[in-house]
Amino acid sequence: MELKDVSAVVTGGAGGFGAATVRRLVAAGAKVVIADLAEDRGKALADELGSAVRFVPTDVTDEGSVASAISAAGELGPLRVAVIVHGGPAAGARILNRQGERYPLATFRRTLEIFLTGSFNVLSQAAEAMARTEPVASGQRGVVITTASIAGFEGQPGQSDYSAAKGGIIGLNLTAARDLAPVGVRVVSIAPGVFLTPAYRISPEEAQEKFGKMVPNPKRMGDPDEYAHLALTIAENDYLNGEVIRIDGALRFSGR
């Protein structure tokens, strides 16, 4: 798919993966909506990249908010790409703590609401908008790229809600690709391993020391631009569809 003069929406577009993806899409000729709640970072990135980019404050759990981001993308050109890469809080606690107290159901629900339900909200609305566009010469109308995690395959202790949400995205992927095949919309999911993003809330040196050394090869954490490079490849390659692609340096989480 040719990306010049088409529009894209990136949820979490002001974050580590998101900002890198926005930059890659703009460099390929796309016009991009940064859909995020981080207003300062989102506006700063839009100012940096100029008229090809628009920041739209977006709550992925709210239908009206996502609709506004999708509409804004449509004003920039035919919507062909949606990258769903927003983050959210992760409590990191076991189902039962050391005192035998259970993990709060409200926290579990909130994690699924943000990562899984929010992703479906964006996917379905983006696909609906893409279905209204004229197909390109190949018959395609667009692609939705979701973000899973290797935790969706082998979650670690304390990741019950996050692993369940990311496992849900993995399970959704093929069904969504099959559902949307008649309208020429592809669905592909990226499952990152450990990447050096602000989500770790520690210095890059500390993060590399703690997490980078567990990666078989290359023996380091991933760079967000490596995620973005893969997202761009997926967008441009029409034959990538219905697949979950791990990008993790051959890392497999253990049960420690």
Homologous superfamily of the 7-246 domain (CATH):
NAD(P)-binding Rossmann-like Domain (3.40.50.720)
Q: What is the pLDDT along the chain (256 residues), one digit of tens a residue?
A: 999 999 999 999 999 999 999 999 999 999 999 999 999 999 999 999 999 999 999 999 999 999 999 999 999 999 999 999 999 876 679 999 999 999 999 999 999 999 999 999 999 999 999 999 999 999 999 999 999 999 999 999 999 999 999 999 999 999 999 999 999 999 999 999 999 987 777 788 888 888 899 999 999 999 999 999 999 999 999 999 999 999 999 999 887 6
Q: Is 199 helix (H, G, I), strand (E, B) or coil?
A: helix
**CA–CA dist 171, 187 (Å, integer):** 12
Residues classed as catalytic: 162
pLDDT for 95-106, tens place per residue?
999 999 999 999
Domain assignments of the chain as residue spans, ordered by start: 7-246
What local confidence, expressed as pLDDT, does residue 19 receive? Answer: 98
What local confidence, expressed as pLDDT, does residue 232 receive? Answer: 98
User: What dihedral do alpha carbons 163, 166, 168, 169 form, nearest 10°?
Assistant: -170
What local confidence, expressed as pLDDT, does residue 158 receive? Answer: 93
**CA–CA dist 130, 78 (Å, integer):** 8
CA angle 231, 182, 166 (to 5 degrees): 40
What local confidence, expressed as pLDDT, does residue 80 receive? Answer: 98
Tokens at residue 180, please?
A: 């949307």
pTM of the model as a whole: 0.96
Per-residue CA distances from 145 to 58, 76, 103, 206, 234 (Å): 18, 20, 31, 30, 8
